[in-house]
Every structure is written in C-alpha cells, then in structure tokens.
Structure 1
Amino acid sequence: MSAMNQQDTAKAWRFQGREAEIHLYLSAAEGDIGALMGARVLGLPLTLSIVPVSDWIDATDMARAAVAVVQVDADSPASIKRFERLAAANPDTPLIAAAFNPPLALVRSLLRSGAHDVLPLPLSLDDLVTSIAPLAEQVQQKEVHALAGKSRLITFSKARGGSGATALATQLACRFAAREAAAGREACLIDLDVQFGDAAFQLGLTPKFSLTDAVAAGSRLDGELLRSITTVHPSGLHVLAAPDEMLPLEGLNNDQVLAVVERAQRAFGTVFVDLPANWTHWSLSLAARSDLILLVADLSVAGLRQARRQLDLLQEQELGEVPLEIILNRHEKSLFGSVKSGDATTALGRDARFTVANDPATVNAAIERGVTVDEVKRKSAFGSDLDRLDKALVDILGLER
C-alpha cells in the first residue's frame, strides 16, 4: 500500500462533475442546426426538440437539462408567455431565449423574466459557446446532485493483494446485475486495477475493448459509445475490462478516470469499481464520491493489519465519513481457525458486519471455467454469503426490488 503525501487533502482530488446535455427547443431545424447536433458545448452534447413556438413544453422534462434554449416569437404573445412560465417553473435550469431579429424591448422583457441570455436565430455554435460558458460552474453542480439521486457507485478496495477482492467483486456484481434486471435497472463493473486486473478473465469474457479505449475517446465518450466498449455478461452485467497491457498507476489522471466513471453512472443504475491495491489520487477521488466502499480483507493477522492501515489512511485523507463496510473473506467457522471474528473487531477497531465463507473448491472452479459460482455448485456457502451481501446492498443503497 502506498502512502499519500500528508500535505495532500481531500479537496485536491474530489470529484468535479459535468451535465448530461444542452437541449434546444426550436420550431424548425434551420441554419447550422445540423452541424450543431454533432458538437459539444462545455463538453456536453446538444439535443434538439422541434416544437411550435406557442406549444407548451413539459417543464419536468426541461428540468433534466443542463441548459435549455427556447425559441420565442416576438409577434406571438403566447410564445412570450410560454417562456415566462417556463422560467418560473424551472428556476434551477438556466434558460436562454432564441429569436429572429429580437427587438430591444423583447430582449429586456425576456431578461426580466429570467432569461440568462437572448440569442439571435438561426443559432451559431460561437454564440452558444459564448452564452453558455459563464454557466459552467452552475451546470456542473447540477450534475453532481443529479448523479447523486439517480446512480450508485460502489468501490471495492483491497486490504492487500491476494485477498480475493476481485473474485468477490465479479461474483457479487453478476448476482446483483441479474436481480437488478428484474427491476428494470442495469449494473456495470469497471476494472480499474490497471496492472493486475482480470475481472473479465474471471467471468470468461473476451472483450474487444477495454478501459484504454474509453479513456482514449475523451470528450467523445457518451452513453452509446461506452456501451459499445463494455462486454456484457450473461447475467446482464456490463464489464469495462482492465487494459490488456500493464499501465503505471500514474499513467491515468483524475480527469480521465472520473470522466469514464461519471459517464458510466449516467448510463447504468449501479456502477461497481474494482480498485488497485495501491492508492493513487484518482482512486481516492473515486472513494470520495462513492456511495459505499467495500473493503475486502482476508481473515489473517497480516490481512487485518493491512486493513487497519487502509482504514487509517482513509481517515487521514478526510474520507472517514464515506460509508464503508468491511468484508472478511475466506472466513472459517471451524473452532480451529487461527483468527476469529472477535479478533478482527479488536484489530480493526470497528465491527466487520460481513463474512464470506472460505470455499476454494467452488470459487477456484468458477474462475477456471469463467462462470458464476452457481454454475459450479447450485447451493454453496460462498453463494449463500453472496445472497446476504446482495440483500445488504439493496438495503444500504435504498433500492426497491
């Protein structure tokens, strides 16, 4: 486990979000609108709805946008009234009015009604960029709150290498995804162990793409592209595999990693992330924005010692308030085990609420065959513990099934 510089605080690597889209409500696709649809402003895609200037626009639908551009007709009182009502109904969504040759009196009236700006039609990309740029911080904060309400991020942290965290993460994520599918939701697993990650291998997958492709896409990465890069397991779990070639941990930076994870959060209901054993600024960033950290430790003296060091580090980095659960892996119920659960509580300084049975025959067979443990043995101690973990996740995350 690598230590962070004591001068580095949580503020240095906390998440900075982005908004999902900028929506245009126009009466017709005129001017450079075709070119605009392939462009991004503030890194956000532009979307278009064709709506007559006096027809009502669903205020609830508009509230989901980062910024809305609404056409106004100077000669239509109904059109002007529509804009005024939309501005009153959506105080948290910046509205930009767009009109053909807007007279000064109309511009002043729209600004008084709550318009952030008034742009001439037909729209141009330069005008949009100039108008929206001052809203960057506001729309970023809106996206942070939107993601917090719609998506769940669960990070798997290893107390030390060899603790079985990846096997646990892959098997649990598959079980979780299959049951979420019945509720109409999806889940994704991102393997961020860029040096030793083998989540896809353990699930018997042969991905054509990996994390490298997602990072290389940069600002082009959207939900559709991300889905095409992931590999879908029969359980319904979308897996973004680790790179084929080993990468230095510092080969990735905060912006790259957070952009990929954030995009996954928009595309899927729950995102699991398998972190490397060593901490980096970007892995701490993910821990900071997690809805739940699962710290996996094997029930041994050395494993518990490293788990305690992990807990101490998170506390030092101002992450003590992030929800965290400890999973004691390879747990032996035998009276002859060298380390008992009570010993773990003493060593860790806190309770470990979850244990997973030591079932090497079933787990190793599943990994070697690239299948879930239920395909190896329909009823197993390991599978029963996965069921308990799955139920706990549903309760902790406030999901309904």
Structure 2
Amino acid sequence: MAKAHLKMNMGGIAAAIEFYRDAPTPNLIIIESRMSAQELMAALGDLAEHCDANTKVAIIGHFNDVWLYRELMRSGVSEYTVAPLSLADVLRMISELFMDPDKGPIGKSFAFVGVKGGVGASSIAHNLAWTLSQNFELETVLADMDLAFGTANINFDQDPPQGISEAVFSPDRLDEMFIDRLLAKCGDHLSLLAAPSTLDRAYDFSADAFVQVIEVMQRTAPHVVLDIPHVWTAWAKATLIQADAVVIVATPDLACLRNAKNLVDMLRRNRPNDSTPYLILNQVGMPKRPEISAADFSHALDIQPSAQIPFDPALFGTATNNGRMIGELQPKHPISQSFNEIANMLTGRVAATTKKNSSKLGGLAGLIDRLKRK
C-alpha cells in the first residue's frame, strides 16, 4: 500500500455518486452501505453512470445475503463483504483484487514514437505523462528509453543519479522495490525513469531487453508512458508491438507521411487484435512550409488524427527552458486542452462535463457495461 492514495468521504453511496459527477474515478472505490438489497442494486446503477470502465467497486454491506452477493457479482461488482472488517481484512481484499497473478497488470503502457527525427514526439510524451498524472491523480511513470540522448530529465528539471540504464543492465535485480529506488519524483503522482544521456557506452540491446522493465512498472503504476527514440532496432520494434497503445507523432510533410504509412502497416500486421495506433500531427502551421493536409494524412493511413498541435516554438521553448510542462505554464491554452483530450482518449476516460451530459444507460445495464470490463 506504499503507493496507494486514499480519499475518504462520509455519506455512503449517495455521496459517492455526487462526488464522482465532477471527479475522475480511481482504480478502486470501496463503499460501505446499510441499504437493502433492492435499494443497493438501484443505487449502484446510478453510480455506474459516473464510473470509468476500468474502475473496480467493492461493497462493504451489513446483510449476509447470498442472493445479494450473487446479483452483485453478476452485475460486475468486484467484491462484497459483510461488516465488521479489520484492517487486515481490508488489505487482504485489496490485495486479492490487484495482486492476482492470473490477472493482467494494473497499468497500461502508452508508447510514443516519432516517425522522423525532430517531430516532437518526446515533448508530446512528456506533456501527456504530466497531464495523465494531474488530471486523474493516478500514479504515472515516464520511461525515457533514449539512453544516449534522452531529454526527459531536462524537460522536468531533474538530475537523478540513476535511471533506466540501471534497470535494463540489471535484469536479475528487477522488482518493484528496485524500480522504485530508480524513480525520480516529478510531482505528487508522476515519476521519471530517466535516461543517462551519456555516450560512455554503446546501448545495444536484445529484442526482449525492456520487456521485464515495462512489466515491473505496470505492476506498480496505472499509467506507464514510454518515450521511444527514433530508431529501428529489435527492442524498439518489440516494445511497439507489445505496448497497450501506440501513439505516432508526425509533422505534416511527405517524409513523415511515408514513414507513418510504413509504421502503421507494420503495426497492423503484428497487432491484428489490438487497438489502432493513434496519430498526432505536430508543428502544424509552420510559416512558409508547404504542408500535407490532415485529410490527406487520414486518407493515406486510414486513421483520423487524434490531435493537431499547432507550431508554437515560443511556448514549447519557454516550457523547456524552465523545466515545466505546457499545462503548468498555461493551463487554459488550446494546446493544454488538446493534451487533456488526448489523455481522456488514451485512458478511455471522459471529462466531467461529458459525464454529466451523456445519456444514461440506466440500472444494471450501466453497471454491467462500466464496471465489469477490466
């Protein structure tokens, strides 16, 4: 529980419904309720309207009712237990929900890659990592995988003595505690696994060199952002294929279109059952540069761009020179809003205003749809 963040609110399920109308839901909501079986089932349907798809719900009730337990399990509730509970009981319940070796890891990995050098993929990845940690208040790890020339430590004004190189060169020591010692804190919910950014040695790795590192990070954090350099090696290809989501960053020019087409085709061949890569067009509207339109990009790749980030060297340069993210400097700027939208899209979460205006699924249908999926 060392990395757990806890918020406690009085008022039971009614207070939970009211609170999560305007707040992102966490990995786990634990509700204590004295409601009857019928009242509880109806109230959970209302709560489901404001829950994100990956949120687990555990109920602490006061009725030892077999029918209620079966209905809750059938509806997608993760756990139902009867009060009173000891501290050990609560810890055991949480451990069983998240530490089951037969279940997938807690975290999802988002791999960011530029199709050409200088397209700004690292800047996009760093800003998205910060946005994920701020908007959803969930632990986020940013891994700078460009060991020779990584810039994450500069962009976050950090100078950690250790980082990702110690992890990848010490596979026999890899576990959650070892990774935790290598992380540099960049905020309440954001940690950085920094690159050494030195040329003291050659960084040649096998195809599976980073697999274990990523798996360990996913066991400790809901969001893992991978900043992959513009290289084409066995490990870079393997990382892209195995990531939960791939974000391709390109500028609107011919070379990027060709490279993006090759990359998308490769990913579709090797990830037939995974989500389609996301496409971000960066540095749009650069003065005096002929550009390929977003519509032409979309037609060639059969992917609609998820965002178009305008060319704004002054804003990005100021942020870099001050070791800050765009959202820290100008949270109301349209580019900051674009990062918010991309973060919502990657995680499957919706903004609070969208939640309140969305059509309700109603009753147990909403509960099944939103709580059962993991």
| TM-score normalised by the chain length of structure 2 | 0.62
Change (3 A) 1:303 1:62: closer
Do the aligned partners of 2:145 and 2:226 also contact (CA within 8 Å) in 1? Answer: yes
| Residue 223 (1) aligns with residue 176 (2) | yes
Task: For 1:319, give the aligned amino acid.
Answer: R
Do the aligned partners of 2:306 and 2:342 also contact (CA within 8 Å) in 1? Answer: no
Greater relative contact order (Cα < 8 A, sep 6+): 2
Residue 104 of structure 2: aligned partner: 146
Find the residue that maps to 1:256 and give its secondary structure.
coil
Unaligned runs of 5+ in 2: 1-91, 351-369
| Residue 212 (1) aligns with residue 165 (2) | yes
* Percentage of matched positions with identical amino acids: 23
| Residue 306 (1) aligns with residue 259 (2) | yes
Residue 345 of structure 2: aligned partner: 392
Residue 268 of structure 1: aligned partner: 221
Do the aligned partners of 1:192 and 1:276 also contact (CA within 8 Å) in 2? Answer: yes
Change (3 A) 1:146 1:201: same
Do the aligned partners of 1:210 and 1:240 also contact (CA within 8 Å) in 2? Answer: yes
Unaligned runs of 5+ in 1: 1-57, 67-138
Which of 133, 143, 158 lines up with 1:190 in the alignment?
143
Find the residue that maps to 1:327 and give its secondary structure.
strand
Find the residue that maps to 1:252 and give its secondary structure.
coil
Residue 334 of structure 2: aligned partner: 381
Q: Hey, what's the Cα distance between the residues in 2 that align with 1:60 and 1:198?
A: 37
1:247-305: CA deviations, max 9, x gaps? 545x2224431111111111111101011212222222222222210011111222222
Residue 271 of structure 2: aligned partner: 319
Deviation at 1:190, TM superposition (A): 0.5
Residue 292 of structure 1: aligned partner: 245
Residue 127 of structure 2: aligned partner: 171
Alignment of 1:230-245 (within 5 A): 230-234=183-187, 236-245=189-198
| Residue 161 (1) aligns with residue 122 (2) | no
Deviation at 1:309, TM superposition (A): 1.9
| Residue 348 (1) aligns with residue 301 (2) | yes
Change (3 A) 1:376 1:248: same
| Residue 253 (1) aligns with residue 206 (2) | yes
1:202-259: CA deviations, max 9, x gaps? 121111112111123322222122111111112531110112324545x222443111
Q: Hey, what's the Cα distance between the residues in 2 that align with 1:315 and 1:393?
A: 18
Find the residue that maps to 1:225 and give its secondary structure.
helix
- Aligned residues between the structures: 261
Task: For 1:146, give the aligned amino acid.
Answer: G
| Residue 202 (1) aligns with residue 155 (2) | yes
Change (3 A) 1:385 1:334: farther
Which of 312, 321, 325 lines up with 1:372 in the alignment?
325
Deviation at 1:191, TM superposition (A): 0.8
Deviation at 1:336, TM superposition (A): 9.2
| TM-score normalised by the chain length of structure 1 | 0.58
Q: Hey, what's the Cα distance between the residues in 2 that align with 1:330 and 1:313?
A: 25
CA RMSD of aligned residues (A): 3.0
Q: Hey, what's the Cα distance between the residues in 1 that align with 2:188 and 2:312?
A: 22
Q: Hey, what's the Cα distance between the residues in 2 that align with 1:385 and 1:59?
A: 38
Deviation at 1:380, TM superposition (A): 1.9
1:298-317: CA deviations, max 9, x gaps? 1122222221121123244x
Deviation at 1:320, TM superposition (A): 4.3
Find the residue that maps to 2:226 and give its secondary structure.
strand
Deviation at 1:360, TM superposition (A): 1.6
Q: Hey, what's the Cα distance between the residues in 2 that align with 1:216 and 1:189?
A: 18
Which shifted more, 375-384 or 231-240? 375-384
Do the aligned partners of 2:131 and 2:327 also contact (CA within 8 Å) in 1? Answer: no
Alignment of 1:3-152 (within 5 A): 142=102, 145-147=103-105, 150-152=106-108
Q: Which has the larger radius of gyration?
A: 1
1:116-136: CA deviations, max 9, x gaps? xxxxxxxxxxxxxxxxxxxxx
Change (3 A) 1:214 1:335: closer
Q: Hey, what's the Cα distance between the residues in 1 that align with 2:109 and 2:323?
A: 25
Q: Hey, what's the Cα distance between the residues in 1 that align with 2:245 and 2:298?
A: 20
Q: Hey, what's the Cα distance between the residues in 1 that align with 2:95 and 2:130?
A: 33
Change (3 A) 1:64 1:305: closer
Deviation at 1:200, TM superposition (A): 1.6
Task: For 2:318, give the aligned amino acid.
Answer: A
Alignment of 1:333-344 (within 5 A): 338-344=291-297
Do the aligned partners of 1:305 and 1:347 also contact (CA within 8 Å) in 2? Answer: no
Q: Hey, what's the Cα distance between the residues in 2 that align with 1:261 and 1:296?
A: 21
